[in-house]
Structures are given as C-alpha cells and as structure tokens.
C-alpha cells in the first residue's frame, strides 16, 4: 500500500498519468492476490481498499464517490487529505531489470533493489538466457540506468 501511494503520488506530481494508472493496476492485482490468499476481512485489507479508492479518485471521481459508500465514508473525497505513505514500510528487495543487447530487448534479470552496474552485469553474464549473447563476444559499451535498464553494445 505504501509503495503504491508513493509511486502514484510521485507520478501525479510529475504529470505522468499513464504510469500512475499502471501502478494502480499493479496495486489492484496485488490486492486480488491478497484477497485470494489471505483473510480479506481484516482491518489492514479494508485500509488498503480505502487507499485504492483515494488513488483512483483523480482518474474516475464519480465511480470512487459511489464506491466509498460501501466503506461507510461519508465525506466527499475531494475534501479529504491525500494518503501519506510511510517510507519505513516500503521494502522492495528484488526488482527486474530489462536487458537490451545492441538495442534489442532480450529479457530481464532479477537483482536486488538499487543494484550497481557491476551486479547487474554479473547477473547477465551468469544467466543462461544471456550466455549465448555475451559468450566469446567483446562488450564495447554498457549503458546502465539505475533500477531501469541495462543495454550492452557487443561485437
């Protein structure tokens, strides 16, 4: 919940509406999996659903005003405070980094969050999917965008 609130807040502040909606969709998928795996009648699930209503409100205010009635929220959402995330509760241990070779997407590797270029490059060199691409080849240049992308220029 905290990660979703943080990402959507940052995307809205930067006018990145498409990525904000994408984060909301990821959050909805997480909630669906949670509902199927755990007891969804607990208070934390209700709070997570209320946070979802707040995150959706800038994009579909009429629908969220109707949905909030199911949660006994009597106030108009426009006048309530935007949810605040707790940075201490945000934990992303592993992330997936897309790997491009000569500009073409060849797959992804999973590495720890905030991994250095060296860690990602070692993960690529040891992954079976990429061994044929980098084996016996000369890596001319690496372009690494932290937590986003690794592009290898090889000959």
pTM of the complete model = 0.57
Q: What is the DSSP string of 97-142?
A: EEEEETTEEEEEEEEETT--HHHHHHHHHHSHHHHHHHTT--EEEE
The CATH classification number of 95-154 equals: 3.10.20.590
Whether residue 21 is predicted with pLDDT greater than 90 in this model: the reply is yes
Q: Which two tokens stand for residue 151?
A: 């592009």
Ordered by start, the domain boundaries in the chain are: 2-88, 95-154
CA 49 to chain centre: 18
- Write the CATH number of the domain with boundaries 2-88: 1.10.730.10
Q: What is the pLDDT of residues 52-91, one digit of tens each?
A: 999 999 999 999 999 888 888 888 888 878 888 888 777 6
Burial (CB < 10 A; 0-12, 13-18, 19+), residue 28, is middle
């Amino acid at each position: 919940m905290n990660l979703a609130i943080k990402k959507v807040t940052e995307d809205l502040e930067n006018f990145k509406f498409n990525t904000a909606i994408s984060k909301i969709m990821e959050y909805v998928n997480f909630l669906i999996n949670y509902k199927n795996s755990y007891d969804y009648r607990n208070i934390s699930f209700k709070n997570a659903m209320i946070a979802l209503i707040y995150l959706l409100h800038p994009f579909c205010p009429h629908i969220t005003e109707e949905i909030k009635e199911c949660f006994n929220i009597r106030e108009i959402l426009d006048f309530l405070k935007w949810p605040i995330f707790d940075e201490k509760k945000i934990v992303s241990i592993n992330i997936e980094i897309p790997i491009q070779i000569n500009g073409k997407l060849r797959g992804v590797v999973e590495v720890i969050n905030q991994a250095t270029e060296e860690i990602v490059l070692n993960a690529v060199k040891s992954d079976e999917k990429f061994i044929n691409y980098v084996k016996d080849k000369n890596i001319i240049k690496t372009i690494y965008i932290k937590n986003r992308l690794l592009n290898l220029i090889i000959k």
